[in-house]
Structure 1
Amino acid sequence: MAKSSADDEELRRACEAAIEGTKQKIVMSIRVAKSRGIWGKSGKLGRNMAKPRVLALSTKAKAQRTKAFLRVLKYSTGGVLEPAKLYKLKHLSKVEVIANDPSGCTFMLGFDNLRSQSVTPPQWTMRNIDDRNRLLLCILNICKDVLGRLPKVVGIDVVEMALWAKDNKPTVTAQGNLHDGPIPAMVTETDLKVSVERELVTQAEEDDMEALLGNYVMGIGEAEAFSERLKRELLALEAANVHAILESEPLVDEVLQGLETATNCVDDMDEWLGIFNVKLRHMREDIESIETRNNKLEMQSVNNKALIEELDKLLERLRVPSEYAACLTGGPFDEARMLQNIEACEWLTGALRGLEVPNLDPAYANIRAVKEKRAELEKLKTTFVRRASEFLRNYFASLVDFMISDKSYFSQRGQLKRPDHADLRYKCRTYARLLQHLKSLDKNCLGPLRKAYCSSLNLLLRREAREFANELRASTKASRNPTVWLEASTGSGQNVNNTDTSTVSDAYAKMLTIFIPLLVDESSFFAHFMCFEVPALVPPGGHANGNKTGSNDDDANDDDLGILDIDENDNKTGKNSAELGALNESLQDLLDGIQEDFYAVVDWAYKIDPLRCISMHGITERYISGQKADAAGFVRLLLDDLESRISMQFGRFVDEACHQIERNERNVRQMGVLSYIPRFATLATRMEQYIQGQSRDLVDQAYTKFVTIMFVTLEKIAQTDPKYADILLLENFAAFQNSLYDLANVVPTLAKFYHQASESYEQACMRHISMIIYIQFERLFQFARRAEDLMFTIPPEEIPFQLGLSKIDLRKMLKSSLSGVDKSFNGMYKRLQKNLTSEELLPSLWDKCKKEFLDKYDSFAQLVAKIYPTETIPSVAEMREILANM
Structure 2
Amino acid sequence: MAKSSADDAELRRACEAAIEGTKQKIVMSIRVAKSHGIWGKTAKLGRGNMAKPRVLAISTKSKAKRTKAFLRVFKYSNGGVLEAAKLYKLKHLSKVEVVTNDPSGCTFMLGFDNLRSQSVAPPQWTMRNVDDRNRLLFCILNVCKDVLGHLPKVVGIDVVEMALWAKENTQAINQRQVVPKDGPVTAAVNEVDLKVTVEKELVSQAEEEDMEALLGTYVMGVGEAEAFSERLRRELQALEAANVHAILENEPLLQEVLHGLEMAANCVEDMDQWLGIFNVKLRHMREDIESIETRNNKLEMQSVNNRSLVEELDKLLERLAIPSEHAARLTGGSFDESCMVKNIEACEWLANALRSLEVPKLDHIYANMKAVKEKRAELVRLKSTFVKRASEFLRTYFASLVDVMINDKNYFSQRGQLKRPDHADLRYKCRTYARLLQHLKSLDRSCLGPLRKAYCSSLNLLLRREAREFSNELRAGTKVSKIPTIWLDGSVGGNQSMHGADSSAVSEAYGKMLTIFIPLLVDESSFFAHFMCFEVPGLVPPGGVANGGKSIQDVDNNDEHGMANIGGNGSAGKTTADLEALNESLRDLLDGIQEDFCAVLDWAYKIDPLRCISMHGITDRYISGQKADAAGFVRILLDDLENRISALFSRFVDEACHQIEKNDRNVRQIGVLSYIPRFSVLATRMEHYIQGQSRDLVDQAYTKFVTIMFVTLDKISQVDIKYADILLLENYAAFQNSLYELANVVPTLAKFYHQASESYEQACSRFISTIIYFQFDRLFQFARRIEDLLFNIAPEEIPFQIGLSKADLRKVVKSSLSGVDKSITAMYKKIQKNLTSEELLPSLWEKCKKDFIDKYDSFSQLVAKVYPTESIPAVSEMKSLLASM
TM-score, normalised relative to structure 1: 0.72
The separation in 2 between residues aligned to 1:25 and 1:640, in whole angstroms, is 98
Q: Which position in structure 2 is the counterpart of 1:379?
A: 381
Q: Which position in structure 2 is the counterpart of 1:344?
A: 346
CA contact (8 A) 2:488 2:659 kept: yes
The separation in 1 between residues aligned to 2:404 and 2:555, in whole angstroms, is 21
Relative to structure 1, the CA distance from residue 187 to residue 615 in structure 2 (aligned partners, 3 Å threshold; closer, same or farther) is: same
The separation in 1 between residues aligned to 2:466 and 2:755, in whole angstroms, is 53
Deviations 1:522-566 (A, max 9, x none): 1111111111111222323326xxxx8x56456674677743322
The separation in 2 between residues aligned to 1:512 and 1:195, in whole angstroms, is 127
CA contact (8 A) 2:531 2:563 kept: no
The separation in 2 between residues aligned to 1:703 and 1:397, in whole angstroms, is 53
Displacement of 1:788 in angstroms is 2.7
The separation in 2 between residues aligned to 1:293 and 1:528, in whole angstroms, is 65
Relative to structure 1, the CA distance from residue 143 to residue 602 in structure 2 (aligned partners, 3 Å threshold; closer, same or farther) is: farther
The separation in 1 between residues aligned to 2:525 and 2:225, in whole angstroms, is 123
Displacement of 1:359 in angstroms is 1.0
Which amino acid letter does the alignment assign opposite residue 781 of structure 1? F
User: Is the counterpart of residue 680 in structure 1 residue 679 in structure 2?
Assistant: yes
Relative to structure 1, the CA distance from residue 652 to residue 488 in structure 2 (aligned partners, 3 Å threshold; closer, same or farther) is: same
- The one of 164, 176, 186 equivalent to 1:61 is 164
The separation in 2 between residues aligned to 1:723 and 1:237, in whole angstroms, is 156
Which amino acid letter does the alignment assign opposite residue 783 of structure 1? F
The separation in 2 between residues aligned to 1:845 and 1:307, in whole angstroms, is 117
Query: What SS does the aligned partner of 1:631 have?
Result: helix
The separation in 2 between residues aligned to 1:518 and 1:633, in whole angstroms, is 14
CA contact (8 A) 1:482 1:497 kept: no
Deviations 1:181-234 (A, max 9, x none): xx9974454445556778x89x9x789549649979xxxxxxxxxxxxx9xx99
Relative to structure 1, the CA distance from residue 856 to residue 301 in structure 2 (aligned partners, 3 Å threshold; closer, same or farther) is: closer
Q: Which position in structure 2 is the counterpart of 1:501?
A: 503
Which amino acid letter does the alignment assign opposite residue 712 of structure 2? T
Q: Which position in structure 1 is the counterpart of 2:642?
A: 643
Gaps of at least 5 residues in structure 1 are 1-7, 27-50, 68-85, 93-139, 150-173, 217-229, 246-265
Deviations 1:493-542 (A, max 9, x none): 54553421111111111111111111111111111111111122232332
The separation in 2 between residues aligned to 1:241 and 1:700, in whole angstroms, is 129
The separation in 2 between residues aligned to 1:554 and 1:213, in whole angstroms, is 118
Deviations 1:51-70 (A, max 9, x none): 99889542423899999xxx
The separation in 2 between residues aligned to 1:481 and 1:559, in whole angstroms, is 50
Q: Which position in structure 1 is the counterpart of 2:850?
A: 851
Displacement of 1:814 in angstroms is 1.9
Query: What SS does the aligned partner of 1:61 have?
Result: helix
CA contact (8 A) 2:544 2:551 kept: no
The separation in 1 between residues aligned to 2:248 and 2:590, in whole angstroms, is 132
- The one of 460, 463, 468 equivalent to 2:462 is 460
Which amino acid letter does the alignment assign opposite residue 802 of structure 1? Q
The separation in 2 between residues aligned to 1:737 and 1:319, in whole angstroms, is 94
Equivalence map 1:783-798=2 (5 Å): 783-798=782-797
Relative to structure 1, the CA distance from residue 211 to residue 369 in structure 2 (aligned partners, 3 Å threshold; closer, same or farther) is: closer
The separation in 2 between residues aligned to 1:571 and 1:471, in whole angstroms, is 39
The separation in 2 between residues aligned to 1:542 and 1:771, in whole angstroms, is 73
Equivalence map 1:182-331=2 (5 Å): 186-187=223-224, 189-193=226-230, 208-209=242-243, 212=246, 302-331=304-333
Q: Which position in structure 2 is the counterpart of 1:750?
A: 749
The separation in 1 between residues aligned to 2:392 and 2:488, in whole angstroms, is 64
Q: Which position in structure 1 is the counterpart of 2:90?
A: none
Q: Which position in structure 2 is the counterpart of 1:489?
A: 491
Deviations 1:37-84 (A, max 9, x none): xxxxxxxxxxxxxx99889542423899999xxxxxxxxxxxxxxxxx
Which amino acid letter does the alignment assign opposite residue 717 of structure 1? I
CA contact (8 A) 1:654 1:702 kept: yes
- The one of 446, 470, 473 equivalent to 2:448 is 446
The separation in 2 between residues aligned to 1:241 and 1:598, in whole angstroms, is 128
Displacement of 1:635 in angstroms is 0.6
Relative to structure 1, the CA distance from residue 743 to residue 187 in structure 2 (aligned partners, 3 Å threshold; closer, same or farther) is: same
User: Larger Rg: 1 or 2?
Assistant: 1
CA contact (8 A) 1:611 1:690 kept: yes
Displacement of 1:867 in angstroms is 2.4
Which amino acid letter does the alignment assign opposite residue 318 of structure 1? L
Q: Which position in structure 1 is the counterpart of 2:564?
A: 564
The separation in 2 between residues aligned to 1:867 and 1:24, in whole angstroms, is 101
Which amino acid letter does the alignment assign opposite residue 352 of structure 1? L
Relative to structure 1, the CA distance from residue 186 to residue 592 in structure 2 (aligned partners, 3 Å threshold; closer, same or farther) is: farther
Q: Which position in structure 2 is the counterpart of 1:471?
A: 473
Which amino acid letter does the alignment assign opposite residue 337 of structure 1? C
Displacement of 1:869 in angstroms is 1.8
User: Is the counterpart of residue 145 in structure 1 residue 144 in structure 2?
Assistant: no
The separation in 2 between residues aligned to 1:685 and 1:241, in whole angstroms, is 139
Q: Which position in structure 2 is the counterpart of 1:730?
A: 729
Relative to structure 1, the CA distance from residue 176 to residue 789 in structure 2 (aligned partners, 3 Å threshold; closer, same or farther) is: farther
The separation in 2 between residues aligned to 1:728 and 1:691, in whole angstroms, is 33
Q: Which position in structure 2 is the counterpart of 1:613?
A: 612
Which amino acid letter does the alignment assign opposite residue 445 of structure 2? K
The separation in 2 between residues aligned to 1:742 and 1:390, in whole angstroms, is 70
The separation in 1 between residues aligned to 2:864 and 2:242, in whole angstroms, is 148
User: Is the counterpart of residue 768 in structure 1 residue 770 in structure 2?
Assistant: no
The separation in 2 between residues aligned to 1:691 and 1:749, in whole angstroms, is 14
Q: Which position in structure 2 is the counterpart of 1:165?
A: none
Relative to structure 1, the CA distance from residue 91 to residue 696 in structure 2 (aligned partners, 3 Å threshold; closer, same or farther) is: farther
CA contact (8 A) 2:617 2:691 kept: yes
Displacement of 1:307 in angstroms is 3.2
The separation in 2 between residues aligned to 1:628 and 1:237, in whole angstroms, is 112
The separation in 1 between residues aligned to 2:519 and 2:627, in whole angstroms, is 14
Which amino acid letter does the alignment assign opposite residue 211 of structure 2? D
Which amino acid letter does the alignment assign opposite residue 145 of structure 1? M
Q: Which position in structure 2 is the counterpart of 1:741?
A: 740
Relative to structure 1, the CA distance from residue 388 to residue 853 in structure 2 (aligned partners, 3 Å threshold; closer, same or farther) is: same
Q: Which position in structure 1 is the counterpart of 2:519?
A: 517
Which amino acid letter does the alignment assign opposite residue 514 of structure 2? L
CA contact (8 A) 1:16 1:25 kept: no
CA contact (8 A) 2:779 2:813 kept: yes
The separation in 1 between residues aligned to 2:840 and 2:221, in whole angstroms, is 133
TM-score, normalised relative to structure 2: 0.72
Which amino acid letter does the alignment assign opposite residue 598 of structure 1? F
Displacement of 1:850 in angstroms is 0.3
The separation in 1 between residues aligned to 2:331 and 2:550, in whole angstroms, is 41
The separation in 2 between residues aligned to 1:355 and 1:339, in whole angstroms, is 25
The separation in 1 between residues aligned to 2:169 and 2:815, in whole angstroms, is 137
The separation in 2 between residues aligned to 1:748 and 1:855, in whole angstroms, is 36
The separation in 2 between residues aligned to 1:744 and 1:492, in whole angstroms, is 23
Deviations 1:162-188 (A, max 9, x none): xxxxxxxxxxxx68999xxxx997445
Displacement of 1:580 in angstroms is 0.8
The separation in 2 between residues aligned to 1:91 and 1:638, in whole angstroms, is 111
Deviations 1:612-645 (A, max 9, x none): 0000001111111111344311011111111100
Relative to structure 1, the CA distance from residue 620 to residue 14 in structure 2 (aligned partners, 3 Å threshold; closer, same or farther) is: farther
Query: What SS does the aligned partner of 2:160 have?
Result: strand
Displacement of 1:9 in angstroms is 11
Q: Which position in structure 1 is the counterpart of 2:600?
A: 601
User: Is the counterpart of residue 802 in structure 1 residue 868 in structure 2?
Assistant: no
Over the aligned positions, Cα root-mean-square deviation in angstroms equals 4.1
Q: How many residue pairs are counted as aligned between the two chains? A: 699
User: Is the counterpart of residue 370 in structure 1 residue 436 in structure 2?
Assistant: no
Q: Which position in structure 1 is the counterpart of 2:654?
A: 655
CA contact (8 A) 2:421 2:548 kept: no
Gaps of at least 5 residues in structure 2 are 1-97, 110-129, 138-152, 171-199, 264-273
